[in-house]
Chains A and B, each alone.
Chain A
């Protein structure tokens, strides 16, 4: 049984409670010795040794994300990480997107799902190259895509022939936000049926995106949702976030979303700071 200590008030917990420094009646290194946590142990032949590490827990993921990024750079392809809760409408939005952008952009989709090829099947045959990534196959049924999984999925796409890759992440408002995959931009689809307080409840996700697509606008008249309240909650956690109102079902607002995708592709083609003339 592992033990677990939590400190809620910062590093001060570890400071010595006694006024004198390093004069201990207790055995050095014993559990009752406060100096076992921080202190100069060089005078003792034994006892625990504290080694400073200061390494980012997600450093390995970030290294793989940087490798993905290198591949995207080499191919000149823009990449959007699209996230949402389950059922918010990512796949329907992408179906509409492929219809609108056919012939204008060469699009690849990385389709992340824990199980089934249902979403990938819906997108296949609509002019996009689709690489399906079921996280239950060899990835332990993960609730998110990380950089390594995306790297594996890139094998299913020929990046050189593409302008844009959309990574449809696993439906989940928590975990995907923590894992960079090498993307240019992050966006999320938020369905009006989810309730306007979600930014306060899932601040990490809402903080991590530059665009929130407000989907299912066709249901607005039937819901009690207050969009101003939603926008205020969003501004609390992410004042810079843009919103686009969409109904993937009726097609309302889909053009504005497609314009944003085209803007991301242009940003990739024209590096920041360079005047396109």
Chain B
């Protein structure tokens, strides 16, 4: 359960970029190969921001599916399970091209 740690990191990034401006929404991008539970993240965000200037802000999680690219046949496969194998030719020699994202993508700030 490291979502609380992640929320502390997110809070630091949000505060630095908001620079005192009111935050409406925080947009995260989280890959399927990160062991992050979005609902737990949201609950931790509530606990952490309660009573602060970030209370009530929306934590918006864009989940990014894991995608591998095959070195043999060149095809891309969207993974529905954490098995790194080409869906076209079955080769294990694949490169992960998406699914490990863990970032604050954007903030929505209140207008002036």
Contact = CB atoms under 8 A, between A and B. Distances in A.
Chain B interface size, as a band, is 35 or more
A184 B104 CA distance: 27
A162 interface: no
Nearest to A200: B82
B28 A57 contact: yes
A214 B49 CA distance: 42
Contacts of B56: 1-3
Q: Is chain A's interface secondary structure helix, strand, loop, or mixed overall?
A: mixed
A3 B58 contact: yes
B107 A2 contact: no
Contact of B107 (A10, A36, A44, A50): A50
Interface residues of A, number: 53
A45 B59 CA distance: 25
Interface in A39-68: 41, 44-61
Interface string A55-99: 111111100000000000000000000000000000000000000
Nearest to B109: A49
Interface in A178-234: 178-179, 200, 202-205, 207
Given A6-B38, A204-B35, A60 B12 contact: yes
Contact of A48 (B2, B60, B110): B110
A101 interface: no
Given A50-B106, A58-B9, A2 B82 contact: no
24 contacts: A2-B58, A4-B45, A4-B58, A6-B38, A7-B61, A7-B62, A7-B63, A10-B62, A49-B110, A50-B107, A51-B108, A53-B106, A53-B107, A55-B103, A59-B9, A59-B13, A60-B12, A140-B4, A144-B5, A174-B1, A178-B102, A203-B33, A207-B33, A237-B83
